[in-house]
Amino acid sequence: MIQAPVSNELFERAQHTIPGGVNSPVRAFRAVGGNPRFMVSAKGPYMFDEDGNQYVEFINSWGPMILGHAPAVVQEAVMAAVPNSLSFGAPTRKEVEMAELIVSMVPGIEKVRMVNSGTEATMSAVRVARGYTGRSKFIKFEGCYHGHGDSFLISAGSGAITLGVPDSPGVTTGVAADTLTAPYNDLNAVQTLVDANKGEIAAIILEPVAGNMGLVVPEQGFLQGLRDICDKEGIVLIFDEVMTGFRLASGGAQQLYGVTPDMTTLGKIIGGGMPVGAYGGKAEIMNYVAPAGPVYQAGTLSGNPIAMSAGMAMLSHLKNNPEVYAQLEQTAARMVAGMEANMQKLGVKFTINRVGSMFSIFFTDKPVTDFESAKTSDTALFGKYFNAMLKRGIYLAPSQYEALFIST
Ligand code: PLP
């Protein structure tokens, strides 16, 4: 059994220097009435906290560590790169090879640009889509999260992550003027928005599997339906695969569901634990990026050799060892079966959504297919379960919608 932290000294210090305290899990710890545990190291499936407790980690640091923490392939690649390239401001072979690797793995990407995070990737993709279409509006889905950038993200159903306090100076909590929002899994709503804004919509952006609502799965025909609307109306379809890319299959959700978007955004796994993001798509669209096209895009550290080395080690491993995905899926299926049995025994109401190695437990007995149904998960039950598991050394991911999000 895990002991409560002896001292919360670091937690106190963080309050003074970091607005809002340390990174996002703190919010979740607070939501369940506790202070965060500070981790000192992680290896394979385990994390170790400052008080010497060991946890089995089921969030993969929110997604990137598909091979567990500190995988040898990535560690070796980084160690080999560091002596030659702590800083590098010139083109390197590694950036080209990384781009070729991504293009070879992701069906919808013919050309790709490297950035430093998923947020940058989505913001860049939206800018390029606007440049390409000459239109400014776009459609996003309630509850989908596309990073902490402003404008198109503001409010739009992204809950705790993007909402500020209403009416605070400088905080816009309404939906940005050129963002139209639709409920997930509702093609009719999308068609209605498109019809009401004929010729004005640059892009439809979504998480093809909505990990940030807990986990909401696209209903049969939803992704293809969006593809058809976009083809008919000259709209750029953007799959934000920051969470699903290289996770649900080596080619991401678009490979799993057989629907190819015009643009794709990537993050998390792509860096093997280093800060890397990327966005890409059809060559015709990506050629709008400067200097070939008018949309400026550059980044001091984008494509830096250390990050590229880590990313390439991770992606090559996944490409060359496709059995990883079947193994992860089997593990997830076993865990779901165990949790289902456990919940039934406890008499707790629950709904589990799962795709491949990602699954989520909502504390509700209703099907969860969109933002509204995701919100019916019972906060108190969620807190109880989260804390009970933490005490047993099982570190689950508390999603902002009071569902437990788990990726094996
Ligand atoms: N898009 C999706 C679908 C995400 O899940 C995230 C992060 O959780 C982002 C974008 C933002 O990525 P980052 O946190 O690397 O900026």
Find the catalytic residue in 111, 137, 140, 268: 268
Residue-level pLDDT at 6:
56
DSSP state of 219: P
Q: Which atom of ligand 1 is nearest to the CA of 212?
A: 5
**Segments making up each domain of the chain, as ranges:** 9-70+323-407, 72-320
Among this protein's residues, is 384 annotated catalytic? no
Cβ of 207 closer than 6 Å to ligand 1, yes or no, is: yes
Could you give the CA distance from residue 7 to residue 5 in angstroms, rounded to a whole number? 5
Cβ neighbors of 210 (< 8 A, separation 6 or more) are 141, 143, 144, 184, 216, 217, 218
Cβ of 60 closer than 6 Å to ligand 1, yes or no, is: no
Whether the Cβ atoms of residue 247 and residue 46 lie closer than 8 Å to each other = no
CATH class of 9-70+323-407: alpha beta
Q: Say how many Å lie between the CA of residue 209 and the centre of ligand 1.
A: 13
Residue-level pLDDT at 156:
37
CATH class of 72-320: alpha beta
Closest-CA residue to 408 (of 45, 39, 123): 45
Cβ of 241 closer than 6 Å to ligand 1, yes or no, is: no
Whether the Cβ atoms of residue 262 and residue 230 lie closer than 8 Å to each other = yes
* Strand ranges, E, within 348-401: 351-355, 358-362, 394-395, 397-398
Cβ of 239 closer than 6 Å to ligand 1, yes or no, is: no
Q: Say how many Å lie between the CA of residue 8 and the centre of ligand 1.
A: 29
Cβ of 147 closer than 6 Å to ligand 1, yes or no, is: yes
Cβ of 145 closer than 6 Å to ligand 1, yes or no, is: yes
Q: Say how many Å lie between the CA of residue 265 and the centre of ligand 1.
A: 9
CA-CA-CA-CA dihedral for 256, 259, 260, 266, to nearest 10? -40
Helix (H) or strand (E) holding 345: helix 323-346
Long-range contacts of 196-199 (CB under 8 A, 24+ apart): 197/137, 199/135, 199/234
44: left (phi over 0), alpha (psi -120 to 50) or beta: left
Per-residue pLDDT of the chain (408 residues; tens, 9 = 90+): 666 665 577 777 877 777 766 554 555 555 555 667 778 899 998 988 888 888 888 877 778 889 989 999 999 999 999 888 777 777 889 999 999 999 999 999 999 999 999 999 998 999 899 999 999 888 989 888 888 765 455 443 444 333 344 444 444 445 556 788 899 999 999 999 999 999 999 999 999 999 888 899 999 999 999 999 999 999 999 999 999 999 999 999 999 999 999 999 999 999 999 999 999 999 999 999 988 888 888 888 899 999 999 999 999 999 999 999 999 999 889 989 988 998 899 888 999 999 999 998 888 999 999 988 988 888 788 778 877 887 888 877 655 445 566 665
Q: Say how many Å lie between the CA of residue 147 and the centre of ligand 1.
A: 5
Among this protein's residues, is 111 annotated catalytic? no
Whether the Cβ atoms of residue 179 and residue 150 lie closer than 8 Å to each other = no
Amino acid at 288: Y
Residue-level pLDDT at 160:
36
* Structure tokens, 5: 């932290």
Q: Which atom of ligand 1 is nearest to the CA of 119?
A: 16
Q: Say how many Å lie between the CA of residue 267 and the centre of ligand 1.
A: 7
Among this protein's residues, is 94 annotated catalytic? no
